Structure 1
Amino acid sequence: MEERKKICGYYDYTVILTYIGIFIGFTGIVFIMEGKYREASICLMISGMCDMFDGTVASTKQRNRREKRFGIQIDSLSDLICFGVLPALFVYSISGKNYMAFFVSGFYVLSALIRLAYFNVMEEERQEIEGGKRTWYLGLPVTAAAIFIPACYVIQSELDCTAVMQIALIMMAVAFVLPFKIKKPYMAGKIGILFTGIIEFAILLLGLGLDV
């Protein structure tokens, strides 16, 4: 049955972090276009932080079936922008916009898109059968880019070798679609990821050895 709404979509607090993450991700893309790679890296990490906790926020409210399905879709669409398109453009731009960087970045975006679309299908089926929270991921989550890309940016700046980021992009792209299981991080895991992110964030803010 068609739901009568004054405006399409949902706008309660359960999706606010996802919407903020999308906006921050778009801001990062604009920074890349302006050649501000350090700022783009910071935007990528902030988007990752938003994604890390949006599911926790959403779980605090009892949602109907349509709201849950909307949450799955909007989260993956956000992930494609923030952790698919943004990192791909980052590497393409910082590598001098050459043909190799173009194909590597394109392969990365395609892999991220396939993974996210497949995840949506499998997650909707899982929720209909099992319900509850997911305890593992199949393949590397695309949100891993929020940690790996800034780290590779720091490394490539120190080594003055853009091939580092292209290699990292290829490895992540392959890992997105390989069917290996990764246990979903809970509080301890999230604290570890957050601590790593804080260290990277501090390095990026200080701009040590970075092209700014």
Structure 2
Amino acid sequence: MAVPSFFTLMNLLCGFMALTQVADAAFVLACWLIVLAGFFDLLDGVMARLTGADSPFGVQLDSLSDIVSFGVAPSFLLYGYVLDTFNPLGMIVAALPALCGAVRLARYNMTADESDKEGFEGLPIPGQAIAVVALILAAENSAWDGRFALDSLRVVLPVVIVLSGLMVSSIRFDAIPMPSLEAVRTHPSKIAAYGLAGLLIVGLQERGLLIVLTAYLLHGVGRALYKLMRALVAPVPDERLGS
């Protein structure tokens, strides 16, 4: 239990450090600290499975760390980076990732099925945080058209509302598979896709991060819409046939 908990606490430490950097207006450094927190969050899950150290204590510690690193820190980052100029609405909008993230984590802790390792109900809170970070990093390092600049409330408001809503939605999103020979045999295409995603992030950095997160979100939402459309067009059984 000690090894996974160490990485969980490193996740929390990175979240705290991100908050201090936002307070100092070092927004890019704060973004990369949140990304580093996501790396430690991934490592604690991997180590827990490898060592068989899953425990209720670890689950609760992980959730407490996640709400700081992926809930409060992105909310404070959004507020400091752009939304503080739109008060009081900006303060309320900035709080949404933290509020919906807390609901997402509480629901997960109450309803998570240990046998379901394939995906999650609702966007995982680290995914929401990394999406926010990817947008800010891209805005800092790219020549955005004025209509899509992140200093515009008409851009930030729908982005924050959509990401926060996805966390508390019932849409299923894939879990990152644990690297193993069994996973390669069972899900070769999924492993290849995540491998390509890793190469994009390493090679393109903030642009790669934005591309990967956009594809991940579109895959989950698109699959949910496809299932909804199939359900809507499916023929309704005629109850008279059973009488």
Tell which has more relative contact order, 1 or 2 (C-alpha 8 A, sep 6+). 1
SS in structure 2 of the partner of residue 137 of structure 1: strand
Which residue matches 2:68? 81
The answer as to whether partners of 2:4 and 2:43 remain within 8 angstroms in 1 is no
Q: How does 1:92-111 map to 2 (within 5 A)?
A: 92-97=79-84, 98-111=87-100
More moved, 91-100 vs 81-90? 91-100
Residues 77-104 of structure 1: per-residue CA shift (max 9 Å, x gap): 1110011001100111111512222111
**Residue of structure 2 in register with 1:30 after alignment:** 20
Do 1:27 and 1:43's aligned partners in 2 also have CA atoms closer than 8 Å? yes
The equivalent of 1:4 in structure 2 is none
> Residues 147 and 192 from structure 1, CA distance in 2 versus in 1: closer, same or farther, beyond 3 angstroms?
farther
Bigger helix fraction: 2
> Which residue, 158, 171, 177 being the options, matches 2:168?
177
Q: Secondary structure at the match of 1:13?
A: helix
Alpha carbons 1:150, 1:200 under 8 Å: kept: no
Structure 1 regions of 5+ residues with no counterpart? Answer: 1-9, 205-212
C-alpha distance in 2 between matches for 1:137 and 1:203: 23
Pick one of 68, 80, 85 that aligns with 2:55. 68
Q: Is the 8 A contact 1:89 1:105 kept in 2?
A: yes
Question: Residue 117 in 1 paired to residue 106 in 2?
Answer: yes
Q: Report what 1:6 is aligned to.
A: none
Picking from 106, 130, 134, the partner of 2:117 is 134
Unmatched segments (≥5 aa) in structure 2: 180-190, 210-243
Aligned CA-pair RMSD: 2.3
Q: Alignment partner of 2:205: what SS?
A: helix
Following TM superposition, the consecutive aligned residue runs of length 4 or more in structure 1 with deviations greater than 6 angstroms are none
TM-score (norm 2): 0.68
Query: Cα 1:135–1:161, aligned 2, differ >3 Å: closer, same or farther?
Result: closer
Secondary structure of the residue that 1:60 maps to in structure 2? helix
Tell me which of 24, 46, 49 is aligned to 1:56: 46
C-alpha distance in structure 2 between counterparts of 1:102 and 1:196, whole Å: 34
Alpha-carbon distance between aligned partners in 1 of 2:32 and 2:69, rounded to the nearest angstrom: 12
Task: Give me the TM-score of the superposition, normalised by structure 1.
Answer: 0.78
| Pairwise CA distance, 1:165 | 3.7
Residues of 1 paired with 2:111 and 2:175: CA distance?
A: 16
Does the 8 A contact of 1:151 with 1:200 survive in 2?
A: no
Letter in 1 for 2:198: L
User: AA paired with 1:110?
Assistant: L
Aligned residues: 185
**Change beyond 3 A, Cα 1:32–1:118:** same
